[in-house]
Structure 1
Amino acid sequence: MTKEDMKKDIKIYLQTVKLLEPRIEITDEEISTYFDENKETFATSEQVEASHILVGDEEKVNEVAVKLAAGGDFAELAKEYSTDTTSGKNGGELGFFGTGEMAAEFKTAAFAMEVGETSDPVKTDYGYHIIKVTDKREAKEANLKDSTAEIKEALMQEKLSTEYTTWLEEKQEEYDIYNSFE
């Protein structure tokens, strides 16, 4: 698919949405039902934002730990030493993650730390990590008010597909169009 093909597809999609949206109604009852049926997807668990430096052996992690203790810049040391090339080139940044997304030892250390704290070396199956926690988010229960816009969008996407088929059938009848392949 070329860039032009993609632009054309997006344009057609947006035109279709604009044409069909006025035909679609989403009620408060539908929103409430959708929320009740999918409540767990709108809740957020406790999350930690962290950076790390991953190295393959104990000697290397101790070398990095000494440089950090001497005032070394975490991000620069991550770029220089980390074997995690994805996060390493970004100064070790991992972004936010929940409790089930990291190796158990890593998760335990990261969730036990305070914001701004740097860990002692942590061994996992991937090697040795030095972790720096940069932020935390508390767990948040799902609530309908905060989820309404997201639910409306999901319901709109569901209804667009159905409404498109209905609209197409109406137009075929209105203009007496038939499918010559049937």
Structure 2
Amino acid sequence: MSFRTKSLLYLFFFMLVAIVSAVQYASAADKNAILAEVGPYKLDAKTFEEQIKSLPPQLQMMVAQNPQAKEQFVERWTQITLLAMKARDMKLDQDPEVKSRIEDLKNSLLAQEIIRKEIDKDIPVSDQEAKEFYEKNKAEFSQPEMIKARHILIRPQGNSEKAWKEAEAKAKDIKKKLEKGADFAQLAKQYSEDPGTKDKGGELGLFPKGRMVPEFEKAAFALKVGEISAPVKTQFGYHIIKVEEKKPAETKPLKDVMSQVKQMVKMEKQQNELEKLIDQIKTKYPVKIHKDAISALQVESPAQTQAVPHPTKSK
């Protein structure tokens, strides 16, 4: 398993247990100023601060700088507490499905606390460790050759040979206008039939090899900066391509990514510590995974919208 894959799994685990970090629990301790009360529940300053710290940094800054945001947060707490009290009056907390979900939330919160106490701590990373990691994972800091381009797409009106010939003829006429000095972006806005880029003058942005369909990619990467292609036929129609910038493949030097590398090494160490902790716990609480039952599960995929014709590869 690659470092990137393991890291994504590790982050996904942290995200799962962090979801409940903002769940509202009232504190019964009266050690700080009381900000709000709902029946027997109280929100004190200490609990408020802990809940704010669980928010993303941008939201933390917003609450810190905006008194109204603080009031809205407290108001939100009162609303949630009121709704929870009503749910208890309706005995929803005794519903088997709700009880199961509450237990899941409790498990997630407890798992988060274990990680915070045992794993999420300051772990030193030396320059030598960072260098060794960088050398083993240089691909993580490599950027492939990329180009920035625009295109004008002319689609055939139907799939007949005549329709394709008419589309090609129209594309060739547009190419002649460009050869006479017409502005590419203006012609793209006027003629292109790619709704995703038409209003942006045909701009596709930067992209590496492997992103576009083969015919488009071959033609685009063969062009020099400022050069405009002849009409290129793909499954979507005829494209006229203009390359505006080329970026050669490169690997970022260690000095430019040192802080990032050290953070990745720290994450790897934390990941190893987490795996050791889980293996240790398994000796006391054996785990059984029933793969046959998992394979038999039927999970519905969300509805997908139909893709708009574009030179990117079909999925």
TM-score (norm 2): 0.42
Aligned counterpart in structure 2 of residue 30 of structure 1, from 103, 111, 129: 129
Taking a change above 3 Å as real, the CA distance of residues 93 and 149 of structure 1, as seen in their structure-2 partners, is farther
Task: State how far apart, in whole Å, the 1-side matches of 2:194 and 2:58 are.
Answer: 41
Taking a change above 3 Å as real, the CA distance of residues 92 and 10 of structure 1, as seen in their structure-2 partners, is same
Unaligned 5+ segments in structure 1 are: 1-6, 16-20, 164-182
Taking a change above 3 Å as real, the CA distance of residues 73 and 13 of structure 1, as seen in their structure-2 partners, is closer
Residue identity in the other structure for 1:55 = I
Taking a change above 3 Å as real, the CA distance of residues 120 and 30 of structure 1, as seen in their structure-2 partners, is same
2:113 corresponds to: none
2:197 corresponds to: 87
2:87 corresponds to: none
2:214 corresponds to: 104
Task: State how far apart, in whole Å, the 1-side matches of 2:186 and 2:216 are.
Answer: 21
Aligned-residue Cα RMSD (Å) equals 3.3
**SS class of match (2:200):** coil
* 1:121 and 2:167 are equivalent in the alignment: no
Taking a change above 3 Å as real, the CA distance of residues 125 and 162 of structure 1, as seen in their structure-2 partners, is same
1:1-182 to structure 2, matched below 5 A, reads: 9-11=55-57, 23-56=122-155, 57-155=167-265
> Mean alpha-carbon deviation: is it higher for 70-79 or for 58-67?
58-67
Residue identity in the other structure for 2:130 = I
Alpha-carbon distance, 1:152 to partner: 3.0
- Please say if residues 44 and 139 of structure 1, whose CA atoms lie closer than 8 Å, have aligned partners that are also in contact: yes
Task: State how far apart, in whole Å, the 2-side matches of 1:32 and 1:89 are.
Answer: 46
Q: Which runs of 4+ in 1 moved over 6 A?
A: 12-15, 159-163
**SS class of match (1:9):** coil
Task: State how far apart, in whole Å, the 2-side matches of 1:12 and 1:140 are.
Answer: 32
- Please say if residues 148 and 206 of structure 2, whose CA atoms lie closer than 8 Å, have aligned partners that are also in contact: yes
CA deviations on 1:99-143 (whole Å, 9 max, x unpaired) are: 211121211111111111111111112211101110111121353
CA deviations on 1:59-103 (whole Å, 9 max, x unpaired) are: 331232233233221111111222222222111111111121112
Task: State how far apart, in whole Å, the 1-side matches of 2:146 and 2:131 are.
Answer: 27
- Please say if residues 40 and 142 of structure 1, whose CA atoms lie closer than 8 Å, have aligned partners that are also in contact: no
Residue identity in the other structure for 1:53 = I
Task: State how far apart, in whole Å, the 1-side matches of 2:209 and 2:191 are.
Answer: 26
Task: State how far apart, in whole Å, the 1-side matches of 2:270 and 2:192 are.
Answer: 47
**SS class of match (1:48):** strand
Residue identity in the other structure for 2:201 = G
1:179 corresponds to: none
Unaligned 5+ segments in structure 2 are: 1-51, 62-119, 156-166, 274-315
TM-score (norm 1): 0.69
Taking a change above 3 Å as real, the CA distance of residues 24 and 14 of structure 1, as seen in their structure-2 partners, is farther
